[in-house]
Amino acid sequence: MKRIGLRTIKTAISIFLCLAVYIVLKAIELLPGVDDNFAFSWYNPFFAGIATAYSVHASKSASLAQAKNRCVASVIGGVVGILLITFYELCGGTWPNLNSVNLETWNFVIPYLLISLFSILVVVIGVATHQSAAVFVAILTFLSVTINPNINVGQWQWQFGLNRILSTIVGVLIALGVNLFRLPHRHYNRDLLFCVGIDGILMKDADNFKGFMQYKLNYLNRIKTNVTLFTTRTPTTFMPLLNNVKISHPVICMSGAALYDTVNFKYLALENIEEKLASNVLKLLKAEKVHPFVNQVVDDVLFTFYNGPLNEAASKYVLDKKNQKFNSLIPGECLKGEILYFLIIDTKENINNLVEVINRSEYASKLAIFIYDDFEYEKEGFQYLKIYSKEIEKLAILHKYCEEVNLKIVGLSSSDLSNHLLKNSDIAITLKSNSLLSQSYCDKVLDSASPDALFREVNRLYYKNLAKYGKK
């Protein structure tokens, strides 16, 4: 059975409170001199319940917007309905209710024509007051006031109209109050930095945060959770992800080789391959007739140098990255100095052969190697090989940042590409669908294969008593 969500619970509480208001008003009828029908004359729990169910939302901002729209729309529809009936009866007519419609005398023709015409007025007023989204509610209220079997002559139309408006407002205010009320939490773990590994969640450059993940990341930001992303990507491909998502800390990018400030577009820290080692790696690659993409950061811009013949997948990479933001592709030799990382795009067979050569070299102990499929190229069989400094496996720049801001690291990932994040976290979490190796580094393995579970766990852990958060 699917878990009952908080919005469902809030709806039930709101409806109960709407009914409780009616019970209180009924109790007032016990007082001397109070009319026996006092409660139902001025408050209808049916209308209040409909309004409250319609106004309960998952977020405070949506609830506030809905409350405003619903109240204004109910006032527009109710007031126009009251004025229409009152005007008609002041002119000497008798407003018909549904039970008194007489097909022989046609006593309903003029009132019903007026209802149709005045519905235009309701829509016009709704649009003029910038309540287009609530025009339906305004029409609903207008019709409930003007076409109702309980409408009688005299002052009843005023009473019924006010009943409808007040009931709706009470229902909306109850929903708003329930939505804004937050049970006190004993724990707010604001000393944790949640680092969510997005490799394995978003595969292609065109992939984006959607639906639940986008909502949850923004929600975590609103409740002041310290959250960021961990990725193999460069700013060129992860910055577009943040168009509709807010995060509160620098992104740990390029597998932990850099910390990037997404607000000021600056690299806060780099874990480069030192110059002599980088030069020797270049000589080794050239000896193997491999032409890498060489990545260096200069003045907060990622420069990617390349030369030599390119295979079809590497050529597509150049075409895709050319003229994109946050980096610069330059044909030719790289600059002298440190190098952030090497990228080779080739067939699986050639990649495997190259890895064997590197592992047999004297530089193997100083290099970190990452291999994953080229998901951007339409033909299968090509892979990315990235070569970094071995130091990135310690995530020293992330640890230093967390020491400066006094935060502990919580790593969450569904991919082996983030295993060094899991190994270097104070708390590590993964999914049951991830490899056994990744699971062995973790304090908790979530019984789910859905990446959404990682974001739910961030929310739970933010409020969790860590003394009760045991090892798996």
Q: Is residue 186 part of a domain?
A: no
Q: Is the same domain home to 160 and 248?
A: no
Q: Is the same domain home to 355 and 291?
A: yes
Whether residue 350 is predicted with pLDDT greater than 90 in this model: the reply is yes
**How high is the pLDDT of residue 420?**
93
% pLDDT > 90, the chain: 37
Q: Is the same domain home to 161 and 203?
A: no
- Among the candidates 180, 205, 239, a domain finishes at 180
Structural domains of the chain, count: 2
Q: Is residue 308 part of a domain?
A: yes
- Could you read off the pLDDT of 60-94 as tens digits, one per residue? 677 777 777 878 888 888 888 888 888 888 887 77
Q: pLDDT grade, residue 155 (50/70/90)?
A: very low
% pLDDT > 70, the chain: 89
Instruction: Indicate which CATH number applies to the domain containing 418.
Output: 3.40.50.1000
**How high is the pLDDT of residue 373?**
84
Q: Is residue 187 part of a domain?
A: no
Q: Is residue 239 part of a domain?
A: yes
Rg of the chain over CA atoms, in angstroms?
32
pTM: 0.64
In sequence order, what E strands does 107-202 have?
Answer: 192-197
β-partners of residue 301 are 298
- Among the candidates 122, 150, 180, a domain finishes at 180
Least confident of 150-159, 209-218, 331-340: 150-159
Q: Is the same domain home to 141 and 72?
A: yes
Q: Is residue 1 part of a domain?
A: no
Q: Which residues contact 429 (CB under 8 A, 6 or more apart)?
A: 410, 411, 412, 413, 442, 443, 444, 445, 446, 454, 457, 461
Whether residue 468 is predicted with pLDDT greater than 70 in this model: the reply is no
The stretch 311-327 carries a mean pLDDT of 86
- Output b/e per residue, 374-408; b: 16+ Cβ within 10 A: bebbeeeebbbbbbbbbbbbbbebbeebbeeeebe
Domain that holds residue 378: 192-468
For the record, the structure tokens of 28 come out as 């007032």
Q: Is the same domain home to 457 and 332?
A: yes
Whether residue 153 is predicted with pLDDT greater than 50 in this model: the reply is no
Beta strand 327-331 with 301-306 is parallel
